[in-house]
Chain A
Amino acid sequence: DAGITQSPRYKITETGRQVTLMCHQTWSHSYMFWYRQDLGHGLRLIYYSAAADITDKGEVPDGYVVSRSKTENFPLTLESATRSQTSVYFCASSGSGTKPYEQYFGPGTRLTVT
């Protein structure tokens, strides 16, 4: 019963490189979300998805790309990483039965861009 997993858990990359963060959930939840959380700050929504092949921008989408070809996967790609994208990235999912709006989070990916 894996729930929701993220990989890698830690990543160090250089400015300008492309990086993909993976998110996988085993609950068949409809909704999936990507957030970033900078040190000492709240969560900011990057992108979200209501179902496979349906994605939409959140509060801070610039510099990021998402796709959702399968319900269970929601990868986030940084096209050309910048130092300002150093952050903790959380993936979440929701959409279960009678409680469709309770979000469950993955353990996070700590990304450092040098």
Chain B
Amino acid sequence: RKEVEQDPGPFNVPEGATVAFNCTYSNSASQSFFWYRQDCRKEPKLLMSVYSSGNEDGRFTAQLNRASQYISLLIRDSKLSDSATYLCVVNYNTNAGKSTFGDGTTLTVKP
């Protein structure tokens, strides 16, 4: 079993739709959580950190459920420009700073 698991999708949604992605992690010692966005064959870019109380950044909302060991990303009012692969990332806050990346969920927003 992978340490970080994501539904690979693809998720195909119309513009304006609301879409949610979930990500599960297996190590309960995980401390820091992030969502990254990766456009086709480009570098991953930090979308947002995920805090215990949940957090929102514009149309994006991230939530953490430590008891069930999953994090989620909700995108409201989807735009064509949201089409990308979304990577779930977990860190154990060790001295090495090493994070574990999920394989990503692909989103395509259609007109």
Q: Which of A's residues lie within 8 Å of B, judged by CB?
A: 30-31, 33, 41-43, 45, 48, 50, 56, 58, 88, 90, 94-95, 99-108, 110
Contact = CB atoms under 8 A, between A and B. Distances in A.
B22 interface: no
Given A101-B93, A107-B43, 13 more contacts: A31-B97, A41-B103, A42-B103, A43-B44, A95-B97, A99-B49, A100-B97, A101-B34, A101-B91, A101-B97, A105-B45, A108-B42, A110-B41
Q: How large is the interface on B (under 10, 10 to 19, 20 to 34, 35 or more residues)?
A: 20 to 34
Contacts of B91: 101
Contacts, number: 54
Contacts of A100: 97
Contacts of B103: 41-42
Contacts of B93: 101
Given A42-B102, A42-B104, A102-B34, A108 B43 contact: yes
B96 A48 contact: yes
B46 A104 contact: yes
9 contacts: A30-B97, A33-B98, A41-B103, A90-B43, A101-B34, A103-B46, A103-B97, A105-B44, A107-B42
A103 B95 contact: no
A102 B49 contact: yes
Contacts of B97: 30-31, 48, 50, 94-95, 100-101, 103
Contacts of B49: 99, 102
Interface string B35-65: 0000001111110010000000000000000
B72 interface: no
